[in-house]
Chain A
Amino acid sequence: MRTIGELAKAAEEALALVTGQPAVVEVEVFAAANSALLTRLNYTSHIPCNGVEEPKSTESYGLGIQAVFDAPDGRRIGFGSEPSDLTPDGAERALAKARTAAVADPEFVSLPARSASPRALANYHDPRLMEIDDQSLVEAGWKITGGALRTFTASSRLAALAQDDDALRRLGLIVGGDVTILRERVAIASTAMPRAQTDETSLITAFVTAMVESRGAKGSGASTGTRLDHFTDEAGVEAAQNAINAIGGERVPSGVYTVVFGRQPVADLLNNIVIPACAAGAFYSSSTPFLGKLGRSVASRHLSLYDDGAMPGLMGSKGITCEGLPTGRTDLIKHGVLAGCLSNWYETQRLLRDPALEEKLGARGPAAEAALVPRNGFRFGAGGGRQFDSPPGVAASNVVLEGAEPLTLDEVIRRVGSGLYIGRIWYTYPINGLRAGDFTCTVVADSYIIRDGRIAAPLKANAIRINDNIATFLNNITGITKDVKGTIVWAADEVVYAPEVAVTGVHVDEIAGFMEELD
C-alpha cells in the first residue's frame, strides 16, 4: 500500500500543478489507497467444502480531482481521476478528465471551505493491520471456522441428537461468513485548505452465520474491532452456540405482537429506512418520511439517534471526511424530535439555497444551518474503502441509538411479558418507497418466544414475515436496553451501535408452512 506520506505529497503537488492551469478557479485533490483483505468462510458437514473458501484481496490507489473552471457560459464543475499514478502525469490526466467532464450545475456554490470546528480524532489505526501478510489473512479465517467447529464438536446437545459420526455430519452443520480487514489511507488538499490533511483507518470484522440445518436452527455471531491483537474466534463460537440454542424452534401464528428487536434488526431498520430518511438528499428530493418535520416529533420521546464519526475506538470513526472537514456528532433524532440531517458540503449548500427549504426541511435560517452541518461527505465504495475515483456522497459513520430510560434486557423482557424476541431479520426494505415508511422482512435467526416475562422457546427460523411501518418502530417503543454493540449490516457503509428495542403492535404473518413437508 502507498504510504500516507506519499499520498500527502501527491495531493499537495497536484494542487500546486492544477492551480496554475488555464481557467481553473478552484480545485480539490483527493489521494487514496485502499486495501480490502477478505477470507470468505464456507463449512458444510454434509457437503464437500473448503472451510475457508476465498482468501482474497482487492487493492487500488490513485488521485481524484474536482475542479471549478471558468467558461464563457459561467462556471463549470468537473471530476476526474487517475488510478495507480500519484505523479504530476497522473494529476494532469485526472485534470484533463475533470475538464472534459465539467458541467454547468446551477446549484453548485463552491468546493468545501474550512470548518470552524477543529479535527477531533488522529492516529487511531493499528499499524499491524496495515502490514498483515497472506498467512495471517488465511489464519484469521481458519480461526473463526475452527471456533465454530470446536463448539459443534463439544456440544452435548448435538451429541445427543447424533449417535454416530455419520449422523453428526447429517445434521447439516454450516459455518458461513467472512473475516474482513479494511485498510484506508487518504490525503486531501484544496484551494481553500491547501495544506494536505491525512487520515489512516484500519478495521477488522468477522461476520458469521452457523446452522444445524436439519433442525432448521440458525444462529449468528459477529465481532468488530480496530486492532489485530483483539481478534479472536469469538464470532465463530457465538454463531455455533446460537445455532445450537435455536434447535427446537416453534412456529407462531399470524397476529399483532410486542416485539423486542435485537441489535441486528435495529441496525437493519436504521440502515435501510431511518438513516436514508435522515439524509439531506431525501429532503431535497421530497422522498423522506420526515419531510418538513425538523424540530417536530417523529419518534417516541424515549428514542435518541445520532451519528458520530469522531468517537475514539468506534469502528466507523474517521478523523476527517472525504471533503477534508472534521467528523463529529450530528444529532438526528433527540428525545423523539427530528434534530438534524446527514449531509456533505454540496447538499448543504444547495438545500440552504432551495426556495422550498422550509417546506422540505421544516425550518430555515440558523435552525436549518445547524441541522445541515456537513460532517458526512464520504467517498465509500462497495465493500468499503474511501475511493479516489468518485466525488463525495453522503454516508453515516457510527450511528448510535440510545434510550432515555436505560434498562437491562431482562427488565425489557419482563416488561414485555408476552411477545417475541427477534434477533436477526432479512431483506428489510421500504417496500412502498421511503416516504410511505412501509417495511417488510423475514426473521431468519437468533429469535425466541417470550412468555410470562422470560425467554420460553426458540422461534423457528424463516417462519414469520413482519409487515409494518417504520412509524410503529419509532413511536411504539416501550423499552430500550442500555448496552449498545457495534453491528454491521451486509453492504452497509455505517456501523450501528445498537441496543435492543421493545415495540408494541407489530404485525407478523406466518409464512412458508409448506417447508415442514419437504424432505
Chain B
Amino acid sequence: MTRISVDLIETVTPLVQERVHEAARRLPHLQYADLRLEVTEAKGAGAENGTPKFSGDDQTLALGVRVLAGDRMCAPGYVGLMLGAADVPNLARIIGEALEQAYRRAVVNGEMKADAREKFGPLGEALADTRLHPVEVRQDTVGAVYRVDPRAMSLAEMVRYATDISRQVDAVDAGVKYNYVSTLTELSRELFVSSEGARIDQTFALTQGTCTVVTVAGEVSQDLYDALGHQRGWEILLEGVDEPLLRFPTFLDFALGLAREGVALATAPVLPTSEREVVVVTDPHYNTLVSHEIIGHPVELDRALKMETAYAGRSWLLGGLTEHQIGRRVASPLVTTYSDPSLPGFGHYKYDHEGTPARRVVHIDRGIFRGFMNSRQTAAIFGGEPNGHWKATDASLVPLIRMSNTVFDAGTRAAEDVLKEVDHGYYIAGHRTPSIAESRENFRISARRVYEIRNGELGRLYRDGGIAADSRDYLMNVDAVGSDFRLYPIPNCGKGQPMQTKRLGNGGPTMRSRARVIGR
C-alpha cells in the first residue's frame, strides 16, 4: 500500500465523475449531486522555549457529498468521511455508498418538509424547495504556486529551524518567559465534480509560521500571538514576502519583533478608558481584524438570511428579503470595501467549493452598501449572481459562506499625514482579540499597542487597550484613509456547527475615525 499523494486526484477523477453521473441517472427524485475529494500532504514542526516539541509528516484524504432530492419537496442531504490509504482500493464502493446515504437523508428530509408544510398552515408556507442558482459549468485544472515544494522539505530541517527561532526568541530578554513557535508547509489538491458536469481540480500550496510569546514584568503578563503565511512554499519563511499587497519580513525577524514588542508592553501602563469618543488612527494590521469582523462577517449572505442565528449570528445589514441596507449609506464616502478571491494570500482561489468561478464583490462603494458574499443556494433565495464564496475547511465538512480576501480599499492619503493632522487622539496598532455584537452592529477589538497622539506625534505606549464603537457610527465617522494598503493572513476564523476553523485574508490601509478607547 503506497502513501496517499495529491496525484491520487488525477487517478480517480474518471471514477468520481462516473459515480456521480451514474447516481444522478439511477436514483429517482435526485435533482442534483456534487462530490468533493481532497488530498493534503502536510509537514509541520514546533518548538517551545528553545526546545523541540513536535513534528509531523502526514497525508489526509477527505470526501464530502451533497445531494438535493425529494419526491414531494426537494431537500438537501450530506455525508462527510475522513479516509486513509487503506480506503483507496475501495474508493468506488465508498463513493457509491456516500452518494446513496446523502440521497436517503435528502429524500427523508424532503418528505418531512412536505409534511411540515401541510401541518403548520401559514408558517409552513415558508418551507420551500431547495434550489441552486445556475452557474456556468466549468471543467478546469488550477495548479499551485511555490518555489520550494512542501513535499520536499526535510522534517529534521523544519524542527531545527523552529527550534532555532524559538531559542532566539527566548534570548531576546529575561522578561520573555514563554514562547511557542510552529511552522507548517503543505500541498493540497481538491476535486469538485457535480451532476451538472462540472469538474474542477485545484491545487494549493500553503506555508505558515506562528509565534506565541508571553512576557512578564512583576504582576503583568503579556501574551501575544501572530501568524505570517502565504499560498507559497517554504521560501516565504526564509526570505519573507515582498509583493505589492503582501509584505512580511523573514519568520525569524517576525518572531523576534513580536518578542521585543511583548517586552516593551509588559512594562507599559494600562490604557485608561475614555468617557466618550476620541480620535483614533488605526494601522493596517489592526484594520485587518476590523475588516474581518465588521465588514466581512456581516456581508456573508447565509448569516444575513438568518442561517447562522444560533451560532455565528445575523447581520444588521438585512432584516428580510425586502428590508435591507442595499443602496443605503452605511459609511463615510471615503470607505470602500470588497471581497476578492483573485488577490494573493490565504484568501486566494479560482473556484469555490461548488464550482462557482470566484470574483470580486463590492460590499460598500464610497459609503453605499452594495451587496453580499453568497452561494448558489443563497443567491437563489435573495437574488443576484453567485460570486463564489461557499467554502469548507476540508472536504468532509459542509461549506459555508466564507470570506476570501475581504478588505478596506486603499485611500489616497499618505499614512503619515493622517496621523500628523491629529491634535490629540490615539494610534491603535496591531490587532489582538475581538468581541463583536450578534448582528455585527457593535464591536470591541483590543490592540497589541496603543500610543497617545499629541500634536501629530506618537507619545506614550499603553498596553491592554483597544477601541469600542457601534459599527455604522464608526464607519460613518471615517475622515481619512491612507494609501498604505496591506493584506494579512487570518489563520483561524471560526464559523459553523461543528465549528470549522478556516484560513482567509483581510486587510486595509491606515484609517482615521472616532471611537471610545477602552483599557481598564
Contacts and interface: CB of A to CB of B under 8 A. Distances in A.
Nearest to A466: B435
Interface string A145-188: 11001101100000000000110111011101110100000000
A172 B105 CA distance: 28
Given A51-B127, A103-B53, A83 B83 contact: yes
A85 B381 contact: no
Contacts of B58: 80-81, 97, 389
Nearest to B177: A286
Nearest to B212: A285
B320 A426 contact: no
A172 B320 CA distance: 8
A125 B123 CA distance: 38
A47 B441 CA distance: 21
B116 A286 contact: no
B29 to A, nearest CB: 15
Interface in B90-127: 101, 104-106, 108-109, 112-113, 116, 119-127
B155 interface: yes
B232 to A, nearest CB: 24
Contacts of B310: 41, 176-178, 207-209, 220
A53 interface: yes
A462 B123 CA distance: 26
A513 B464 CA distance: 27
B498 A54 contact: no
B37 interface: no
Contact of A438 (B155, B325, B500, B520): B520
Nearest to A182: B498
A134 B108 contact: yes
A491 B79 CA distance: 20
A514 B472 contact: yes
Looking at chain A's contact residues, the main secondary structure is mixed
Interface string A378-416: 000011100001010000000000000000000000000
Contacts of B518: 467
B464 A438 contact: yes
A242 to B, nearest CB: 13
A139 B113 CA distance: 10
Interface string A47-59: 1111111111111
Contact of A382 (B125, B308, B498): B498
A177 B468 CA distance: 29
A511 B313 CA distance: 17
B402 to A, nearest CB: 16
Nearest to A92: B1
A173 B120 CA distance: 13
A69 interface: no
Contacts of B208: none
Contacts of A172: 319-320
Contacts of B203: none
B446 A511 contact: no
Contact of B223 (A149, A287, A467): A287
B86 A153 contact: no
B321 interface: yes
Nearest to B105: A55
B498 A383 contact: yes
Given A54-B78, A90-B86, A426 B52 contact: no
A444 B319 CA distance: 17
Given A57-B79, A138-B112, A93 B497 contact: no
Interface stretch (A3-11, A329-337, A427-435, A494-502): A427-435
A390 to B, nearest CB: 10
A52 B381 contact: no
A285 B177 contact: yes
Interface string B200-222: 00000000000000101000111
A48 B133 CA distance: 14
Contact of A213 (B106, B319, B397): B319
A339 interface: no
A462 B438 contact: yes
Contacts of B313: 426, 444
B214 to A, nearest CB: 5
Interface string A320-355: 000000000000000000000000000000000000
A105 B109 CA distance: 52
B11 interface: no
B273 to A, nearest CB: 8
Nearest to B473: A514
Given A139-B112, A168-B122, A518-B316, 5 more contacts: A83-B82, A97-B57, A180-B497, A442-B442, A509-B468
Interface of A: 36, 38, 40-60, 62, 78-85, 87, 89-90, 93, 97, 100-107, 134-135, 137-139, 142, 145-146, 149-150, 152-153, 165-166, 168-170, 172-174, 176-178, 180, 207-209, 211, 213-214, 220, 284-287, 291, 382-384, 389, 391, 426-436, 438, 440-442, 444, 461-462, 465, 467, 469, 490-491, 509, 511-515, 518-519
9 contacts: A49-B126, A55-B105, A59-B81, A173-B123, A174-B309, A286-B221, A461-B438, A465-B468, A515-B316
Q: 7 closest A-B pairs (Cβ-Cβ)?
A: A383-B498, A83-B84, A165-B122, A84-B84, A56-B78, A48-B128, A176-B309
